[in-house]
Structure 1
Amino acid sequence: MNIVNKLTIQHLKQNKRRTLVTIFGVIISVAMIAAVTTLGVSFLDLFKKQSIANEGEWHVSYENVSKEQIQEIQEDEQTHASFLSRNDGYALLTGSENENKPYVFIKSFDTAGLKNYPVHLKEGRLPEASNEVVLSEHIETNGGVSYQVGDELTLQVGERVNTLPDADPERELKQTDSLIQLDGETAETIAETAEQTFKIVGMIDRPEWEPTWSPGYTIISFVDHNEADLSADVSVIVKDINKDIFDHAGALANSIGLEKTFLRFNDSLLRYYGVTDNANLQTTLYSLLAIIVAVIMIGSIALIYNAFAISVSERSRHLGMLSSVGATKRQKRNSVFFEGFVIALISIPLGIIAGLTGIWITFLLINDMIEGALGISEKLTVVITPMSIVTACLLSLATIFISTYLPAVKASKISAIDAIRQSQDVKLTGKKIKTPKLVRKLFGIEGEIGLKNLKRNKRRYNVTVFSLVISILLFLSVSYFTDSLKKSLELSQEGINFDIRVSLNSSNEEKSEQLASIKEFDLVESSVLQKQIDLNFYVTEEEAALPFQEDIKSGLMELDEKGVPYYASVTSLDEKNFKDYAEQIGAKSFTDEPLKSHPVILVNTAQYEDAESGKFVETEAVFKEIGDSLSLFYYDYEQSIENEFADVTIVAQTNVIPMGVNYGGIGGVNLITTEAVFNELVTTDTQEMANSSVFLRSSDPLKLQDMIEDADADLYVYNLYKARQEQEQLILILSVFTYGFIALITMISVANIFNTISTSVSLRKREFAMLKSVGMTPMGFNKMISYESLFYGLKSLLYGLPLSFIVMYLIYYATTSSFEYTFEIPWMNIIYCIISIFLIVGTAMLYSIRKVNKDNIIESIKQENI
């Protein structure tokens, strides 16, 4: 080790506080980078495990293929493994006590399928022949029909057929389609039945992949490869998972004569491998990732750079003395690089350990939260890969190198005379420290002296301001990034805001009272009783949504002589929920309004997926004003005529939906009103068009569903708990990740700001002592420091907020390739940020000044500023 490097180490030891603060900042930065890489790998691993637990491990499914086609698929070069499955049909379940689940649904797998698909055996064994089945325990616990292992089960197996007059005969009814009912009666049947007898060889847990609203209890049989006329679905695990999977599967389907409508991908699993066939979504994800990674790198580099810049400033006299005794520019530059290397040698291992430990502790805390609150069966574990550690090390080294580069160049240029005289940082002229007269008028002599001090120590002032600007930029950018992803998630998942819907295909008063009584059940946390009817109205071209106006102008849509047709979903809320809703949106109660004809609240927001661009779009649904009326009508399909219904008056507009209401699509609106107004609108003639529902949120939705079904089998229970689980799971994990990142960045920022301000104050001891010696009182001194803090905060906000707006808009712009909604400034986050900036600066100043106030004035004046 040469003499310059030895002196560098000696300097680090002598300035222990600054060295420790620098090491601490770098450790947090490295921990953050290690956390980002490991978190990404760990979360993807969790999502993969959960997707496999819910839907089995497969990537591509070729549906309804023959024996010869199966062989070609299995022999394909990209097929790693495969298994067979088949939907064998439905049969009536004799004795079922649940009127909404009158069937059993028979699903068959081969041996590999039973291993790869999530089938959890409770008793007996899995089927090994086509005449053997295992039954879901849900048949007994929910349907009230008891079977034992060893029993024989004879069924009339066929396909569900919709018996409604306007039904599409080509549309196949699946497990995801709930039981079709009309006026409380079943409007479907089982057709083309064939008798089959099975032996029950085992019992299984209710399958995770069976929707709660499906009309059939799942039973599982066996697919025999030796069947002469074998036809089944082939699910394939591919060898190389990449974006070519879609083209390759399409080409394979085409080569074996299979239509692409019979080709299905396991999108929920593939997306966690970073594979999707939605080009817009990929662009959005990569754009957002590029922006946020750039913010991380810039923030880390800037904050670590400040620590080394201060170090070079403090070492300037020392470097000048080295120069005077023959040190070359290269030696001085390398001394700073060596300092960075020493810091990296200590910080990177500790940072990686801290990052991994932090993730491990975080996972311990949120695993119970996720499993308890969201019902996720898989554990979130720390997945460490060599690539993630190497990436963290390389990114950390690159960050430290870039951070040291400019200080190193500056160090090499310091001349011996300038360094010994300490003239390189403070180069004063009267013009440079001149302050506006307004400052003295507003803040007094203390404010003017404070501002002159900042101008005189401009480099340290700018370093501190820069640190604050970076902190503002990082906080607002990352918080807006989180909010944008949440908004995108809501648009793509339709904003499910309830657990259970219990409904009737009628607004009958007696049945509505039965629904209302459900709100009093145990386990119900919040509820709303709704009545709803679907109607139509017309608007002019100028009042139609912008997409309609564009289609009319381009000739894609013909304008009816009555105007642009719209549909309206008129929904009533019970008295308490309507009052709460009106207060939430800032609307007056209808009783406070002047007497108007059938007052309604217009939810003037439409959300839809654009067919051409594939974007999820949010736009204004219709251009109507408060006070306008809508002439509602309903269409009689039997007589092909429009029947007048009623006129309603818009008394308020909002983009907020109450529980149980989804945003309308393009060409539709939601109208919210009171139960009293709804009852006036819906007469005896139109009562059959309306329906009643109660929407519930519960601490245990699955148990509550059983309680409701036991209480009244005529009620239709639609449980969306699992759909809400998935949405809240993503938002929760996203929030933990992003706000954890904000916490780490904030710690680096605070450490750096404290370091900068305390170093600056420490170097100004002599100046403060001189001000006190010429008569500045403690109160005046504190005012001067307070004004300096104010100037720090104001200038950092002056630069930080506009830069943050630019980055936020870039994030918004990146999401517009897949989602379309209005750019909104996050005012609450900005307010939090402003308060935090002044708190951080003020606290750092007070901490530093408290130490200075303990010093003796005479000793401070005698002190050399080195």
Structure 2
Amino acid sequence: MNIVNKVTLRHLRKNKRRTVVTIIGTIISVAMITAVATLAVSFMDLMQRQTIANEGEWHVLYKDVNGDQLEAIKKDSETKALVISRDRGYAYLEGSQNETKPYLFVKEYNAQGFQQFPITLSRGRLPEKNKEVVISEELAAASDVNFEIGDQLMLEIGERSVTDEEYTAGELTQNDSLLMVDGEVVETLTNQKTVNYTIVGFIDRPVWEPTWAPGYTMISYVDESFLEAEDPFNASVVLKNLHPSLYSHAQALADKNNIETVQFNNRLLRYYGLTNNDSLHRTLYSLAAIIMAVIIIGSVALIYNAFAISVSERSRHLGMLASVGATKRQKRNSVFFEGIVIALISIPVGIGCGLTGIGVTFMVINSIIQDALGVSESLTVVVTPLSIIVACAVSLITILLSTFLPAVKASKVSAIDAIRQTADIKLTRKAVKTSKWVRAIFGVEAEIALKNLKRNRRRYQVTIFSLVVSIILFLSVSFFTSNLKKSLELSQEGINFDLQVYMSSDYAENEEELSELAAALEEVTEVSMMKKTGVTSFVEEVAIADELKETVKLDREVLIDGKYPYYVDISGMDEQSLQIYANEIGADMEKLTDLENPGAIIIDTLTYKDMENDKFAETKAIHAAIGDQLDFVVADWEWIHISTNADTSPRLDFVVDDEESDEWIDVGQVEIVALTDQYPMGVMPAGVGGVNVIVSEKVMDQLFNEAAIDTWMYLYLKSSDPLKTQQQIEELKSHYMSVHNLYQSRQREEQMVLLMSVFTYGFIVLITVISIANIFNTISTSISLRKREFAMLKSVGMTPHAFNKMIHFESIFYGIKALLYGIPLSMAVMYLMHRALMNTFSYGLAVPWSDILYAIAAVFAIVSSAMLYSIAKVKKENIIDALKQENI
């Protein structure tokens, strides 16, 4: 070790306080980088495990393959595990106690399928050969038949087919509920074949079975050697390596072997950071780059401040080295050497602190998450070699970047200037000149405070830089988290209820009784009764959604008498539910229940998937104002209610019997009394070209009973135990009711939102703590270096009151200057983030004014606190001792 490095080490040991402050600042920075990297990896790991637990582990699905195609998939170099599955079909369930679930649904897997998919055995064993089957405990409880292990089942298995000629439907699957019109079943089973099964075990109800599915799931074994050539089946593949080229590789394999349909498990793959959506890919990488840049800049700022103040404090020491022959290179290397020493101490400690902090956080929030949403998996600290290497590399690069400027500055300082310490202090009249208005308005203390800042511009700039970076960190991350949540909500289905009970309007006398019975159930937490129907409203061209205006320009024939025909989804709420909803959005309940001049609430904001641009978008459904009138009409057509269900919430669909009719029935009009973007329970977006209208049940009856327009009654519920509540309601029901349980879909959405909130708000807290530590470190160290300056002011007669006043003005100047730079720069970063998100989403840039106000208040509070804390420590110093003190 050369003599300069030895002297540097000795100087670090002698100046323990400054060394400890520098090390702490660096540790905080390394801990931040480590915590962010670990948080991201751990969060993605949780979502991977939770998705696998809910839906099974597979990456690529080849549909309807034959034996030769299956062999090609097996031999593919990327295939790690192969699951063969087939939907064998439906059979009638003897003695079914659930009218909406009259079938058994048989699904077949090979042995690998029982490992890759979440199948939980409760008793017995899993199938090991053809014609063996396991049935769900739910099925056993839903039939009058007493099923036992070893029982033989002779089933007539077939396909579901529609019997009503007016009803058109494609292939009916488990995602489609039992088809009923006016309480009558309009489907049957066709192409039936007799199959004998032996029950070998019982399983828990499969989590992938929709609660509204018409068949209870039975799982059997499929042996590929017994598959006939004409029997198509599905091949689900678990890949050896997950990389971006998997999409093109799978498609190429399908094309080569004439496989028509290839699907990807996008829900799981996205948690591995993989997507075949180019816009989403650009969004993810753009956001990652921006966030990483913000984090690195914040880390560099934190460490740079520590080293910049360190070099300023060591200036006399470096000057003494220069006076005895140290070269510029040696002085520069002295600072670099100090950075390496600090790095060797700080990086291991910082990584340990970051991991410990994340581990403690996970321990605290795991029970909260699992209790709130029933998440089966828990957050665990996932430490990968890559994340540690990245944290070490980023931290080391950050430290070297942070020491570069101080090192260059140290190498340029002459021996005389360094020993006299004149490099940082500017005493020229021009350098410390202040406006006469400062003294006139704020007094001499403010003028002295401003001159103090100007005379030591370097220290002042370091403090301002620290504040600006902290502001940018906080506002950028706050904006990022709020937009991440908004984007997540846009991409979800928006299901806001657990159970939907449909009732034909022919049985309206049972509505109130059913509502009271449902509300009385112990597990039910919220109930809303709602009538629904669909009508048309002709909307002025200027008021239609922006997305429709281009269509109108290209084809004026879509307008009728200069107006655009809007689909209106009308919901009539019961008085109690409407009162709660009206209070939430600030609507006048009296106007909503006025039958002479009916009022309505318009939901004027909707979210939808723009298929043309492959984006999730938020837009204005209609450009209206409070007080406008909305006319309702219906065509003189026969509307037929179709009760179909997919993965999303059931909704009303209509078909037209007589498309040649152009007669319209005038229903009436309503006055818009409120505009909102909040959807009440049970209401889903009507889509572009449609609008959701909320009225009172009395208004609904007046409008549509007089016009003899059919309406449909729905009961919406939230429950702490939706499956139990569904069973209780089904025990009460008769043929006029249909129950749909959307709990799983809603729970999946809420899990995503909550887990994302944990990630994002944890990020905010982390950045906030780092920012506060950064400001305190910078200001307290700066104040400590000004002991002689403060002692001089006291020695010439500055009173404690005047001294405190001066410090307060310094705090105000720091805060104002930092905000003048920090807020515009934060706005620029927010704009870049918004542009990145617009690759996949479409909504307006919303300036987070509340966060900006928080930042303004926090800056002044933190700066004042840091200044007062630091001053309290130096006040105890003796004036004579402080004047004699030298920073060596």
Are residues 1:152 and 2:174 paired? Answer: no
Contact 1:183 1:688 in 2 (8 A): no
Are residues 1:567 and 2:586 paired? Answer: no
For residues 543-568 of structure 1, the C-alpha deviation after alignment (integer angstroms, 9 at most, x for no partner) is 22112111222349743446322111
TM superposition shift of 1:723: 2.1
**What is the CA–CA distance in structure 2 between the aligned matches of 1:507 and 1:660, rounded to whole Å?**
21
Range that drifts further, 714-723 or 624-633: 714-723
Any idea what SS the aligned residue of 1:616 has? strand
**What is the CA–CA distance in structure 2 between the aligned matches of 1:684 and 1:579, rounded to whole Å?**
25
TM superposition shift of 1:713: 5.8
Contact 1:154 1:198 in 2 (8 A): yes
TM superposition shift of 1:88: 0.8
**What is the CA–CA distance in structure 1 between the aligned matches of 2:805 and 2:321, rounded to whole Å?**
41
In the other structure, the counterpart of 2:739 is 717
Any idea what SS the aligned residue of 2:505 has? coil
Range that drifts further, 81-90 or 308-317: 81-90
TM superposition shift of 1:323: 0.3
Contact 2:432 2:455 in 1 (8 A): yes
In the other structure, the counterpart of 1:346 is 345
Gaps of 5+ in 1: none
TM superposition shift of 1:627: 2.0
In the other structure, the counterpart of 1:256 is 257
Are residues 1:638 and 2:657 paired? Answer: yes
Gaps of 5+ in 2: 638-655
TM superposition shift of 1:634: 2.5
In the other structure, the counterpart of 1:701 is 722
For residues 20-76 of structure 1, the C-alpha deviation after alignment (integer angstroms, 9 at most, x for no partner) is 222222222212222233333333333222222222222222222222322232233
Contact 1:320 1:420 in 2 (8 A): yes
TM superposition shift of 1:507: 8.0
In the other structure, the counterpart of 1:849 is 871
Are residues 1:238 and 2:257 paired? Answer: no
TM superposition shift of 1:414: 0.9
- TM-score (structure 1 length as normaliser): 0.95
**What is the CA–CA distance in structure 1 between the aligned matches of 2:626 and 2:745, rounded to whole Å?**
35
Contact 1:243 1:275 in 2 (8 A): yes
In the other structure, the counterpart of 2:460 is 461
**What is the CA–CA distance in structure 2 between the aligned matches of 1:865 and 1:354, rounded to whole Å?**
31
TM superposition shift of 1:103: 1.6
TM superposition shift of 1:748: 3.0
Identity %: 54
What is the correspondence of 1:119-138 to structure 2 with a 5 Å cutoff?
119-138=119-138
TM superposition shift of 1:706: 3.1
Contact 1:65 1:232 in 2 (8 A): yes
Q: Which amino acid aligns with 1:794?
A: I
Give the one of 701, 705, 714 matched to 1:692. Answer: 714
TM superposition shift of 1:773: 3.6
What is the correspondence of 1:46-195 to structure 2 with a 5 Å cutoff?
46-142=46-142, 146-169=146-169, 171-195=170-194
Range that drifts further, 735-744 or 303-312: 735-744
Are residues 1:761 and 2:783 paired? Answer: yes
In the other structure, the counterpart of 1:605 is 605
Any idea what SS the aligned residue of 2:521 has? coil
Instruction: Tell me the C-alpha RMSD between the 2 structures.
Output: 2.3
Contact 1:28 1:744 in 2 (8 A): no
Are residues 1:790 and 2:809 paired? Answer: no
**What is the CA–CA distance in structure 2 between the aligned matches of 1:450 and 1:520, rounded to whole Å?**
69
What is the correspondence of 1:412-811 to structure 2 with a 5 Å cutoff?
412-506=411-505, 508-517=507-516, 518-555=518-555, 558-561=558-561, 563-591=563-591, 597-635=597-635, 636=637, 637-640=656-659, 641=661, 642-683=664-705, 686=708, 688-696=710-718, 698-712=719-733, 715-811=737-833
Are residues 1:408 and 2:407 paired? Answer: yes
Contact 2:515 2:527 in 1 (8 A): no
In the other structure, the counterpart of 1:266 is 265
Any idea what SS the aligned residue of 1:226 has? helix
Any idea what SS the aligned residue of 1:96 has? coil
**What is the CA–CA distance in structure 2 between the aligned matches of 1:505 and 1:28, rounded to whole Å?**
64
Contact 1:609 1:615 in 2 (8 A): yes
**What is the CA–CA distance in structure 2 between the aligned matches of 1:446 and 1:35, rounded to whole Å?**
43
TM superposition shift of 1:524: 2.8
**What is the CA–CA distance in structure 1 between the aligned matches of 2:143 and 2:833, rounded to whole Å?**
50
Contact 1:317 1:420 in 2 (8 A): yes
TM superposition shift of 1:182: 2.5
Q: Which amino acid aligns with 1:23?
A: I
TM superposition shift of 1:599: 1.0
Contact 1:507 1:531 in 2 (8 A): no
- Change in CA separation of 1:395 and 1:839 when aligned onto 2, cut-off 3 Å: same
- Change in CA separation of 1:593 and 1:522 when aligned onto 2, cut-off 3 Å: closer
Q: Which amino acid aligns with 1:324?
A: S
Any idea what SS the aligned residue of 1:327 has? coil
TM superposition shift of 1:659: 2.5
TM superposition shift of 1:693: 2.1
Any idea what SS the aligned residue of 1:236 has? strand
For residues 411-442 of structure 1, the C-alpha deviation after alignment (integer angstroms, 9 at most, x for no partner) is 11111111111111011232332333333344
Any idea what SS the aligned residue of 1:277 has? coil
Q: Which amino acid aligns with 1:236?
A: V
- Change in CA separation of 1:456 and 1:588 when aligned onto 2, cut-off 3 Å: farther
Range that drifts further, 296-305 or 142-151: 142-151
Contact 2:121 2:204 in 1 (8 A): yes
**What is the CA–CA distance in structure 2 between the aligned matches of 1:741 and 1:588, rounded to whole Å?**
40
**What is the CA–CA distance in structure 1 between the aligned matches of 2:849 and 2:676, rounded to whole Å?**
19
- Change in CA separation of 1:763 and 1:75 when aligned onto 2, cut-off 3 Å: closer
**What is the CA–CA distance in structure 2 between the aligned matches of 1:127 and 1:732, rounded to whole Å?**
38
Range that drifts further, 500-509 or 2-11: 500-509
**What is the CA–CA distance in structure 1 between the aligned matches of 2:418 and 2:850, rounded to whole Å?**
47
TM superposition shift of 1:631: 1.8
In the other structure, the counterpart of 2:293 is 294
**What is the CA–CA distance in structure 2 between the aligned matches of 1:165 and 1:476, rounded to whole Å?**
60
Any idea what SS the aligned residue of 2:710 has? helix
TM superposition shift of 1:201: 1.1
Range that drifts further, 434-443 or 306-315: 434-443
For residues 180-205 of structure 1, the C-alpha deviation after alignment (integer angstroms, 9 at most, x for no partner) is 23233333322222333221111011
Contact 1:320 1:418 in 2 (8 A): yes
Contact 2:667 2:707 in 1 (8 A): no
- Change in CA separation of 1:118 and 1:852 when aligned onto 2, cut-off 3 Å: same
TM superposition shift of 1:143: 5.5
**What is the CA–CA distance in structure 1 between the aligned matches of 2:439 and 2:574, rounded to whole Å?**
61
**What is the CA–CA distance in structure 1 between the aligned matches of 2:697 and 2:436, rounded to whole Å?**
65
- TM-score (structure 2 length as normaliser): 0.93
Range that drifts further, 753-762 or 855-864: 855-864
Any idea what SS the aligned residue of 2:520 has? coil
Any idea what SS the aligned residue of 1:688 has? coil
Are residues 1:322 and 2:321 paired? Answer: yes
**What is the CA–CA distance in structure 2 between the aligned matches of 1:362 and 1:280, rounded to whole Å?**
34
- Change in CA separation of 1:134 and 1:557 when aligned onto 2, cut-off 3 Å: farther
Q: How many residues align?
A: 862
**What is the CA–CA distance in structure 2 between the aligned matches of 1:439 and 1:264, rounded to whole Å?**
70
TM superposition shift of 1:138: 1.0
Q: Which amino acid aligns with 2:355?
A: L
Contact 1:51 1:269 in 2 (8 A): yes
**What is the CA–CA distance in structure 1 between the aligned matches of 2:396 and 2:125, rounded to whole Å?**
56
**What is the CA–CA distance in structure 1 between the aligned matches of 2:886 and 2:256, rounded to whole Å?**
85
Range that drifts further, 85-94 or 771-780: 771-780
Contact 1:497 1:659 in 2 (8 A): yes
Contact 2:591 2:598 in 1 (8 A): no
TM superposition shift of 1:862: 4.1
TM superposition shift of 1:573: 2.7
**What is the CA–CA distance in structure 2 between the aligned matches of 1:216 and 1:608, rounded to whole Å?**
31
**What is the CA–CA distance in structure 1 between the aligned matches of 2:726 and 2:527, rounded to whole Å?**
14
